Structure 1
């Protein structure tokens, strides 16, 4: 069916939701707008789907959500005999339509006789992961678009282990979703009916309390009766879901000097005080920095709207605040945790990181006798490794990715900003007692292991044309690979689509034992590397860079040379 035919099908559907019908009429005279809304179904990928709100098959709306839930319901019926009684846990964030989509989920699942547990109010993504395990549900769904702009929402699927579904499982679910022929005519129960039948259970704070008990067990220093009351903390939830859990978590550890950025404490789907509700972007800390200067804070912490990512800013030598990168914070957290880990746990302990995360963690892990395991980008792969460790006898110690995602305790199987906030504040308190800031602690690590520096650039290419350009970039670089980048010779090319590592010097090929993905990584001399990867959740081409040298100035110059050459190549390709 052409996009024109699909548009006509929606336009002529008598029972079309009134709001969507009005929005459809508003773009009825824009051929480009209609094509983008209808030229394909919204991609249901390995972690679920994410898209712009509005009418159309390529948009987030009640009908595309129903289609996703219908496919999941059929998958659960075919794979879990007890799916109806175990049910599905559902949480949602502060975005437009989030609660409505959660209820639509229950209405579809209810038609299959499958119970749904929905939180009474907004909750962080990591709590959903915990809830799946705590409630022993057959699956979980998180309604969120994470840190995307306000016009987006999303739908993430979790398996019974509480992790985002891995590729093999996702492929089966995607197949069932794609088999649903008409998203407009999916049978649903009414909300009143599923509530009457006991198929929609509203969840209060009982899951929060169970999570907080596990959270308290993560503390290292409080076991030694440390005094956290003197640490001055500024906290911003960036209009999202983390306020309640982070405040309770910090207070139960003994942190008292906490200053909340009140203007950003209220949930707001417009994220009206920031250009982007993403702690990866330093502008998101503008208000927190103002508060920090007023109260002379030791540490500033900020979470993205669904509270799976944490950003941290700390004082530099001049009294200003510097936002740590995800790699820097992850490295500091891991090294701090290893100080308190027993020799026995380190022997079979594992650090798990992604292929685009700093190599500094590997150097520190090696020093502590800990093995490092690499995964593809996406915390679902880290969660999958934790599950494997249950039968292999390996012990999960820490997992992280460069995009501000961290996990310490495996009672959650996704990145967890609440956990990370607790340990970050504990770590800041430790280093304060040693007379140092976190930046000074980081410099000590650089002195010991070398000056590791990483960066990432992204090129936004929206719509159908953008998707074609992203594919063109990767195809061109794959067919005409670099022999050097930024003056550094290429030693290896890792092609994750071919699952192959190619030695440029000898021609030798080795298999990469990771899932297939359209990603290219160049390993260069002097332990430098460059990786090209299309975003799985946004219309972006992402390029990652990593170097190490004896000084920050030298590393910065190396990074810049890599970025300039790669950017020039990409511009030539897309023009």
Structure 2
């Protein structure tokens, strides 16, 4: 259907939700906004869907939720009665409409006779991953838009292992979703009737307690934590999201006595009033934590995003201020600590990272004779590999991370877990404090040992239909470029993950990339330098990743500037 037909279908619907009807009426004179709201169905991709709230087929609302869940229900039905009885676990974050969407998902699944386990109040995404495994359900749903602005919400689906749907399963669910012809006519069951029939079960403390019990295993040095519990000053902010209870309880389990939560950001709030963006990747999100840190003399500041799957950390620096570590820096520090604390590392130990994550981690793993495996961007690929190696025994998982502040320490969850990461980060700070060092000084030790790895990320936001087309045109333009040198660095290889081809520039030969196909283009330069282009899977952005290495920090900064200047000159001609 074209957008006008879709719009009329909604406008003339007899029983459209009253609030959505009002919002739709307010858009009647704004044809551009109407077209954007109705020109397509909100895409249900391999990780679910995410979009702006509001009326329309290209928006997050009760009806697009129903369409997505109807597809999931058909997928579960196709797997048989046992899977219907196993049911689906459902969690949700602090955003507008999150609980309403969670209940609506339960009503759609209930109409198909599929049992649901719904948290009584908001919970972190990693606890949903854990709940799927703990309750042995057929899968899970979490309603969240992660760190997106307040006007967004989203819907993510998990498989029976507690990981985000891998590509093959996702493709099957997507096919069922796309078969739903009219989101306005999806059947839903009555909530009270589902509760009476036992098809909707509310869950809370039992799962919390089980998760917290597993969380104890994240500590690698409990005796140190006990002996030095009074030594560490921690400031924590959940950024108006879901992490407060589990992080505070986890730090208490460690024995830490001085944990200061940022009061202004402690309570859930869908408007995220104290930050420009509820994203621990953004330094601005740490402003209040830094203020608190200076007041109490904090050794580490910890911040989680709204659904608590990403963790950011800030640490004291030489200027009596705090420096926010990058995900790559924090990941390297965590990895080095984990591997150093093993008295007997397994011969088949494994680090899993993504293709846009720094090579710093690989160097650390090499030092400890631990293998490194790269996956596509997205933690679902890391979770998928954990499951595979758990089954085959080929490797033993030791740590997984990605540059965008996603970390997994122990595999009792199968998605990035900021609660686990918060516990490990606090122990990491305590360990280095016991050595008389800050985390920045510890990081410098790693640089001196492995080389000065420096990374950066640039994003271009291009909204709407025209933006989507422009992003694709940028990707195609770079694919058509013959690039053999960037600044002083020669191009060694060009990896096109859409075609699964690696072009070796000097030899003029091609080899196969064994990872799944994806719209990603990576230029490998000499001396561990590279840059990569990738459209975001969750936001209307195209992202440019950069990674460099040299024997000095200043030389690495110079190399980074060479890469960024080259790419930006190309972009300027295109945009």
TM over 0.5: yes
User: What is the alpha-carbon distance in structure 2 between the residues aligned to residue 7 and residue 214 of structure 1?
Assistant: 49
User: Are the equivalent residues in 2 in contact too, given 1:228–1:426 (CA < 8 A)?
Assistant: no
User: What is the alpha-carbon distance in structure 1 between the residues aligned to residue 109 and residue 486 of structure 2?
Assistant: 52
Match of 2:71 in 1: 71
Match of 1:21 in 2: 21
The Cα of 1:391 is off from its aligned counterpart by 2.1
User: Are the equivalent residues in 1 in contact too, given 2:365–2:372 (CA < 8 A)?
Assistant: yes
**Structure 1 residue matching 2:446: 3-state secondary structure:** helix
User: What is the alpha-carbon distance in structure 1 between the residues aligned to residue 421 and residue 486 of structure 2?
Assistant: 35
Match of 1:420 in 2: 421
Match of 2:5 in 1: 5
Establish whether residue 437 from structure 1 lines up as the match of residue 438 from structure 2: yes
The Cα of 1:230 is off from its aligned counterpart by 1.4
Match of 1:399 in 2: 400
Q: 1:344 to 1:438 in 2, by over 3 A?
A: closer
User: What is the alpha-carbon distance in structure 1 between the residues aligned to residue 267 and residue 362 of structure 2?
Assistant: 39
Match of 2:479 in 1: 478
Match of 1:456 in 2: 457
The Cα of 1:185 is off from its aligned counterpart by 0.4
Match of 1:329 in 2: 330
Match of 1:283 in 2: 284
**Structure 2 residue matching 1:145: 3-state secondary structure:** coil
Alignment of 1:151-550 (within 5 A): 151-223=151-223, 225-345=226-346, 347-393=347-393, 394-550=395-551
The Cα of 1:18 is off from its aligned counterpart by 0.4
User: Are the equivalent residues in 2 in contact too, given 1:80–1:138 (CA < 8 A)?
Assistant: no
**Structure 2 residue matching 1:387: 3-state secondary structure:** helix
**1:384-433 CA distance string (max 9 Å, x none):** 00001112211000000000000000000000000000011001001001
The Cα of 1:196 is off from its aligned counterpart by 1.6
User: What is the alpha-carbon distance in structure 2 between the residues aligned to residue 389 and residue 296 of structure 1?
Assistant: 43
**Structure 1 residue matching 2:13: 3-state secondary structure:** coil
**1:492-519 CA distance string (max 9 Å, x none):** 0000001111101111111111010010
User: What is the alpha-carbon distance in structure 2 between the residues aligned to residue 183 and residue 540 of structure 1?
Assistant: 27
The Cα of 1:526 is off from its aligned counterpart by 1.9
**Structure 2 residue matching 1:217: 3-state secondary structure:** helix
Structure 2 gap ranges (5+): none
Aligned length: 573
**1:279-328 CA distance string (max 9 Å, x none):** 00000000000000000100000000000000000001122100000000
User: What is the alpha-carbon distance in structure 1 between the residues aligned to residue 88 and residue 159 of structure 2?
Assistant: 9
The Cα of 1:56 is off from its aligned counterpart by 0.3
Q: 1:291 to 1:344 in 2, by over 3 A?
A: closer
**Structure 2 residue matching 1:363: 3-state secondary structure:** helix
**Structure 1 residue matching 2:168: 3-state secondary structure:** helix
User: What is the alpha-carbon distance in structure 2 between the residues aligned to residue 360 and residue 127 of structure 1?
Assistant: 29
User: What is the alpha-carbon distance in structure 2 between the residues aligned to residue 502 and residue 81 of structure 1?
Assistant: 48
**Structure 2 residue matching 1:489: 3-state secondary structure:** strand
**Structure 1 residue matching 2:218: 3-state secondary structure:** coil
**1:61-108 CA distance string (max 9 Å, x none):** 000000000000000111243122110000000000000000000100
The Cα of 1:217 is off from its aligned counterpart by 1.4
Q: 1:214 to 1:488 in 2, by over 3 A?
A: same
User: What is the alpha-carbon distance in structure 1 between the residues aligned to residue 482 and residue 538 of structure 2?
Assistant: 26
Cα RMSD of the aligned pairs, angstroms, is 0.9
User: What is the alpha-carbon distance in structure 2 between the residues aligned to residue 38 and residue 423 of structure 1?
Assistant: 45
The Cα of 1:344 is off from its aligned counterpart by 4.2
User: What is the alpha-carbon distance in structure 1 between the residues aligned to residue 310 and residue 54 of structure 2?
Assistant: 27
The Cα of 1:485 is off from its aligned counterpart by 2.1
- Runs of 4+ with >6 A deviation: none
The Cα of 1:571 is off from its aligned counterpart by 2.2
Deviates more, 1:502-511 or 1:88-97: 502-511
Establish whether residue 551 from structure 1 lines up as the match of residue 552 from structure 2: yes
The Cα of 1:479 is off from its aligned counterpart by 1.6
TM-score (norm 2): 0.99
User: What is the alpha-carbon distance in structure 2 between the residues aligned to residue 193 and residue 500 of structure 1?
Assistant: 54
Alignment of 1:87-166 (within 5 A): 87-166=87-166
**1:252-271 CA distance string (max 9 Å, x none):** 11011011100000100000
User: What is the alpha-carbon distance in structure 1 between the residues aligned to residue 206 and residue 487 of structure 2?
Assistant: 55
**1:321-371 CA distance string (max 9 Å, x none):** 0000000000000000001124342x1110000000010110110110100
Structure 1 gap ranges (5+): none
User: What is the alpha-carbon distance in structure 2 between the residues aligned to residue 551 and residue 42 of structure 1?
Assistant: 47
TM-score (norm 1): 0.99
